Chains A and B, each alone.
Chain A
Amino acid sequence: MGAFDMLGIAHSSLTTHQTWLDTLSHNIANASTARPTDQAAFQAQFVMAEAQDAGGVRVSGLALGDPEGRMVHQPDHPLADENGYVRMPDIDMGAQMSQLIMAQRGFQAQTSVIRNAQDVYSSALSIGRNA
């Protein structure tokens, strides 16, 4: 057990939640990205997290959404095929937005851990100071 473990653990979770937030921004930003029908649709990214044995959490990988996407009839779209279709990403905006809140709250929870760690460690460092 290291001397300042709590800070490292909180940091690992901050990083993981930051990755989650970045990924959600990326997905939401591309929610309307159209592709020609002969290409794969924009694939939403999903962060996979796992607990570390030594404490903390890490991103274990990124899963990708469905490359099929949704076929949308937009004949006036410059990328539309001869039948008037473009391929739009199949992103569930409700799920993305609720995950955005979860990731934000998770990130904020780590800051309270860091404050706790500061209190505890400065308390430990003050042992014997006024003896």
Chain B
Amino acid sequence: MLVSASDSVAAALGGALDGLALRQRVAADNIANMDTPNFTAATVDFESSLRAALADGDVTGAELNPATALSAATPGVNGNNVDLATETMTATQSTFQYQLLTRAVGDRYSLITTAIGHM
């Protein structure tokens, strides 16, 4: 877990960062294999388990497992089903989401710094 603070907001932020990092990695892998014959693209879903954990009120548990699934897109003639446009959009979108989250994490630390009175 990225954020060591034990409250659920920090845990949710950390879980989302982990999920986005995995999604970025999987998108990079898909793009790396855009010309590999018989390669099947993968997708990542971390929102479902995160949403369920937030609904349960226990984000700190170990059930925050991002799920990786194989893409069901129709493969081309070489058996490869990577869609470069989709992967690029996924990568760009999760980059912005990641930057938003790191900003949120930084702001939480700013709150703590303010609370302890700028030592």
Interface size range of chain A in the complex? 35 or more
Give min CB distance, A9 to chain B, whole Å: 4
Main secondary structure of the interface of B (DSSP, over half): helix
Interface size range of chain B in the complex? 20 to 34
Which of A33-41, A70-78, A86-94, A113-121 contacts its partner?
A113-121
Task: For B28, give its contact among A10, A119, A130 (CB under 8 Å).
Answer: A10
A residues within 8 A CB of B32? 9-10, 12-13, 16, 55-57, 110, 113
User: Given A6-B24, A116-B91, A126-B102, A13–B113 Cβ distance below 8 Å?
Assistant: no
Q: Is A95 close to B, CB under 8 A?
A: no
Q: Is the CB of A5 within 8 A of B34?
A: no
Give min CB distance, A90 to chain B, whole Å: 22
Task: For A131, give its contact among B21, B91, B106 (CB under 8 Å).
Answer: B106
CB < 8 Å A-B pair total: 98
Q: How far is the CA of A123 from the CA of B113 in the complex (A)?
A: 20
User: Given A1-B22, A49-B35, A57-B36, A113–B91 Cβ distance below 8 Å?
Assistant: yes
Task: For B33, give its contact among A51, A117, A123 (CB under 8 Å).
Answer: A51
Point out residues on A near B: beta carbons under 8 Å.
1, 5-6, 9-10, 12-13, 16-17, 20, 49-51, 55-57, 102-103, 106, 109-110, 112-113, 116-117, 119-120, 123-124, 126-131
Point out residues on B near A: beta carbons under 8 Å.
17, 21-22, 24-25, 27-29, 31-37, 39, 84, 88, 91-92, 95, 98-99, 102, 105-106, 109-110, 112-113
Taking A6-B24, A102-B35, A123-B98 as known contacts, 20 extra A-B pairs with beta carbons closer than 8 A to each other, sorted by chain A number, are A5-B28, A9-B32, A10-B31, A10-B32, A13-B32, A20-B35, A51-B29, A51-B33, A56-B33, A110-B31, A112-B88, A120-B21, A120-B24, A120-B95, A123-B99, A126-B106, A127-B106, A128-B106, A131-B106, A131-B112
